[in-house]
Amino acid sequence: MTARTRMPLGQEAIATKGWLGAHKYLLLRRTSQLCFLMLFLLGPWFGIWIVQGTLAGSLTLGVLPLTDPFVFLQSLIAGHWPELTAAIGAAIVLVTYALIGGRVYCSWVCPINPVTDGAHWLHRKLGLQKGWQPKRGTRLWIMATVLIVSGLTGAIAWELVNPITMLHRGLVFGMGFVWAMVAAIFLFDLFVSRHGWCGHICPVGAFYGLVGSKALLRVSAASRSACDDCMDCYAVCPENHVISPALKGKGDDTPLILSPDCSNCGRCIDICAEDVFKFTHRFDALSVAPSEPTAAPQSRASRPF
């Protein structure tokens, strides 16, 4: 470990952009997660029925049906041809995430995200080892397994264990022992495997990753020439293998983060004191910045703090 990486995470970004500026997307994301949850909770808690149902299937203002496309797909494979309402709902969700990035669901909507983010925060504070790190393809294997089991058993298999819909349903309808499942995921991510659940296991995330593999909304390392190798983005990114191809690309290599694993969470944008990253669209040719002529930034280790 060098002197550079030993500095507290995000300290430089806070110094240059202020605390709010260095947590902009994190705050937006928490707000978004809370809003999506509150939309579902306003009914049961306050009798304001804007959205009925759960993340698996819902009805907004009595007209807009939404269905989880992964649940829908399992139902199809299990041998049930759903009614039109569910099919329309799944199509709307599918098209939306295909445009804005499938894993936007993971970081901006999913109620398990704050749990695993919390586990990662504590993991970093405690300075724990990263632990068991399954291969990148594991969640795809699990997704395939789930679909095969759905076909063989004729049941929507993942909904028997899916902590996302269970936690959401728990909050909206009644908890039961779902809290134990949530605690198990927290502990798994904390002690067994860093970024274990969302980054390696969850087949819902794998599915949404595939859905959004050609999505328009992308993070770009547009000003990668300004990067001073502080490594903060790698430390906060929940899928940090997606950064290198864009950030460390040379010449004509695209600065766009095109990996379907990227969840568009925007933490890299927040944490970067040099404002290397920004949100853009996948056809943003301008983001291939003038990389050569700009002066190399001062090496971080030689700066005062």
Partner 1 sequence: MSRVGTPLSPQRRRFLQDSARAAGGCVAAGSVLAWLARDARALPAEALRPPGALLENDFLSACIRCGLCVRECPYDTLKLAELGVDAVATGTPYFTARDVPCEMCDDIPCVAACPTGALDPGLDNIDDAKMGVAVLVDQENCLNFLGLRCDVCYRVCPVIDEAITLEVEHNARSGHHAIFIPTVHADHCTGCGMCEKSCVLPEAAIKVLPARLARGSSADHYRKGWEEKEAKGSPLVEGIIDLPDRLPGPGTDNLVAPGGFEPSFQLPEVTQ
Name the site residues for partner 1 (rule: CB under 8 A): 43, 49, 52-54, 56-59, 65, 67-68, 71-72, 75, 78-83, 85-86, 89, 135, 137-138, 141-142, 144-146, 148-150, 152-161, 165-166, 169-170, 172-178, 180-181
If the CB atoms of residues 54 and 107 are measured against partner 1, the closer one turns out to be 54
Query: Within 13 Å and on the Cβ side, how many CA atoms surround 288?
Result: 9
If the CB atoms of residues 82 and 131 are measured against partner 1, the closer one turns out to be 82
**190 touches 116 (CB < 8 A):** no
If the CB atoms of residues 8 and 62 are measured against partner 1, the closer one turns out to be 62
Q: How far is the CB of 133 from partner 1 (least distance, A)?
A: 14
Tokens of residue 24, six digits? 């902009």
Q: How far is the CB of 213 from partner 1 (least distance, A)?
A: 21
- Report the sign of the C-alpha dihedral through residues 178, 96, 254, 24, in that order: negative
CA dist., res. 305 & res. 301, Å (int): 8
If the CB atoms of residues 208 and 277 are measured against partner 1, the closer one turns out to be 208
If the CB atoms of residues 159 and 189 are measured against partner 1, the closer one turns out to be 159
Distance, first Cα to last Cα, the chain: 17
DSSP 109-129: T-TTHHHHHHHHHHHHHTT--
Q: How far is the CB of 90 from partner 1 (least distance, A)?
A: 9
Q: How far is the CB of 96 from partner 1 (least distance, A)?
A: 17
Q: How far is the CB of 119 from partner 1 (least distance, A)?
A: 21
Residue 286 identity:
L
Residues in a beta bridge with 66: 58
